[in-house]
A = this chain, B = another copy of it.
Amino acid sequence: MADVAALAGVTIMTVSRALHTPSAVSPATLEKVQDAIRETGFVPNYAARSLVSQHSPIVVALFPTMMNSVFSGTIEELSRQFSAQGYSLLLGETSFDIDTEEKLLSGFMGWRPAAIILTGAEHTEASRKLLENSAVPVVELWNLPKDPFDLAVGLSNRQAAYDMTRSLHEWGYRRIAFLNLNYPNNDRSVDRGAGYRQAMEELGLEVTPEMEIRVPFGLEHASAAVQQLVKITPKIDAVFCSSDSLAVGAMMGALRSGLRIPKDLAIAGFGNVELAATVVPSLTTVDVPRAQIGRECARIIMERLRGGYEGPPVIDCGYSIIRRESA
């Protein structure tokens, strides 16, 4: 920065101002400084900047996995929104594990991020303490916690799963199995399971243990589980999956087993990923406004940072049932 200042014939303070308060510098000086910056290839040092200004242009975002276009859609939107505002996303992958989340969080806190974005509302005690001490905006995504840590943007997973289950019933399916992820601290899938069970109960449909299947994340697990299921319990007429990934895996498992979809077995998913519309047969699913979730999340963070967000702490982005060929 000293080089730039010398070349432009001003002090570094003027260079600093030219960079972040251009309006406070005369047009002539501004141009000289900009020329000097270009000539020297100067890049401001964010470490120094954020050390003195006490806040950094970094937003931390932690997601269970990046191998899932539901999350990547939100990530892309977040990344776009924040880089437009001059912030960078420090991304971490928790692998559906709140201890990993804690570890990542404690590492990232060292950057004194301007805000923190987490998936779900399940966190370790240590994580909560860390977040509390940091005193920055925290947004929990993808669910509507009754007792949010700070802010939350998402949808009612329980209600959506409930609706889909009732829809399947309406479409004539009766023996509806539920294929879920088996991560205990994943409040989204737990809530979806609860919505499913509530609907089944209200509809007077029996849920036997083998109808609630839990598998790890991964297409092949879903596929294998369904092939297993139809062998053991052939009377199942629909499988509702707690994510589109699982649903596509389930669909492939059913096709492998020689079943026709939806005639022999209906499949429903959750997420409406790109593949859901393209796959043959196309996938009936719950559409989740993932870009909107990213957008709203970025919006309330920016408002909070600019001195005051006055809206509700929990923002419901809604969902909708999309019926396609698979059910």
Of B72, B112, B133, B252, which contacts A280 at CB under 8 A? Answer: B252
Copies in the complex: 2
Determine the residue in chain B with the shortest Cβ distance to A92: B79
| A16-52 contacts to B (CB < 8 Å) | 41, 43-51
Of B48, B67, B93, B274, which contacts A218 at CB under 8 A? Answer: B274
| A173-211 contacts to B (CB < 8 Å) | none
Residue A319 at the chain B interface, CB threshold 8 Å? no
Residue A267 at the chain B interface, CB threshold 8 Å? no
Residue A107 at the chain B interface, CB threshold 8 Å? yes
| A77-127 contacts to B (CB < 8 Å) | 79, 83, 86, 88-93, 104, 106-112
| Neighbouring B residues of A65 by C-beta, 8 Å | 72, 76
How many interface residues does A have (CB within 8 Å)?
A: 55
Distance, CA A252 to CA B255, complexed state (A): 14
- Known A-B contacts A92-B79, A280-B255; the reply to A41 vs B133 at CB < 8 A is yes
Of the A-B pairs whose beta carbons lie under 8 Å apart in the complex, a sample of 27, sorted by A's number, is: A43-B109, A43-B110, A43-B130, A43-B134, A44-B110, A46-B47, A66-B72, A67-B72, A67-B73, A76-B93, A79-B91, A79-B92, A83-B104, A83-B107, A88-B90, A88-B92, A88-B107, A88-B108, A89-B90, A90-B90, A219-B274, A219-B275, A220-B277, A223-B278, A249-B278, A252-B280, A256-B280
Residue A56 at the chain B interface, CB threshold 8 Å? yes
Least CB distance, A126 to chain B, in whole angstroms:
9
| Neighbouring B residues of A255 by C-beta, 8 Å | 280
| Neighbouring B residues of A109 by C-beta, 8 Å | 43
- Known A-B contacts A45-B110, A88-B108; the reply to A67 vs B67 at CB < 8 A is no
Distance, CA A248 to CA B280, complexed state (A): 10
Determine the residue in chain B with the shortest Cβ distance to A79: B93
**A111 contacts B46, CB within 8 Å?**
yes
Least CB distance, A111 to chain B, in whole angstroms:
5
Residue A129 at the chain B interface, CB threshold 8 Å? yes
- A47, A50, A219 interface centre (most CB from chain B within 10 Å): A47
| Neighbouring B residues of A219 by C-beta, 8 Å | 274-275, 278
| Neighbouring B residues of A93 by C-beta, 8 Å | 76, 79
Residue A13 at the chain B interface, CB threshold 8 Å? no
Residue A75 at the chain B interface, CB threshold 8 Å? yes
**B66 contacts A76, CB within 8 Å?**
yes
| A287-317 contacts to B (CB < 8 Å) | none
Determine the residue in chain B with the shortest Cβ distance to A60: B88
**B69 contacts A76, CB within 8 Å?**
no
Determine the residue in chain B with the shortest Cβ distance to A41: B133
Of B67, B73, B278, which contacts A69 at CB under 8 A? Answer: B67
Determine the residue in chain B with the shortest Cβ distance to A133: B41
Residue A2 at the chain B interface, CB threshold 8 Å? no
| Neighbouring B residues of A92 by C-beta, 8 Å | 79, 83, 88
Residue A10 at the chain B interface, CB threshold 8 Å? no
| Neighbouring B residues of A66 by C-beta, 8 Å | 66, 72, 75-76
